[in-house]
Amino acid sequence: MNLGRIVGMVVATRKEPSVEGLKFQLVRYIDENGKETGAEVVAVDTVGAGPGEVVLVATGSSARQTVLTQNRPCDAVIMAIVDSWDVRGETKYRKTEER
């Protein structure tokens, strides 16, 4: 998984029928310091995450291991909203502080 921050949403009316109803979030990947890496991904939200939230993104076939995305042409999924993380004992991010 990789850390990312939701910065927007992608709207697509014409699409594969099986992805109907899925929410496509635009996610910027961030590193352990919360800094954006420059890479981004469009991921399906499965946990009700909103704009600005820091999340975990799983990609590849693992992105289909949820009830929402199973057997669908989806290769990136938001499977957790991050509360906090630490690096060598130092808290690098805590959700309530940042928002």
**Residues interacting with its own copies, by CB under 8 A?**
1-3, 7-16, 18-19, 24, 26, 28, 31-32, 40-43, 46-48, 51, 56, 58-66, 69, 71-77, 79-89, 92
Nearest to 80 by CA among 58, 59, 99: 58
**Inter-CA distances, 15 with 37, 43, 59, 73, Å:** 29, 15, 20, 10
Q: Looking at beta carbons only, is 31 or 98 nearer to its own copies?
A: 31
| DSSP summary character for residue 58 | E
Closest contact distance (angstroms) between CB of 97 and its own copies is 13
Phi, psi of 22 (to 5 degrees): -75, 150
Nearer to its own copies, 65 or 99 (CB): 65
Look up tokens 């928002």; give the residue. Answer: 99
Minimum separation from the CB atom of position 7 to its own copies (A): 5
Tell the smallest beta-carbon distance from residue 34 to its own copies (Å).
Answer: 12
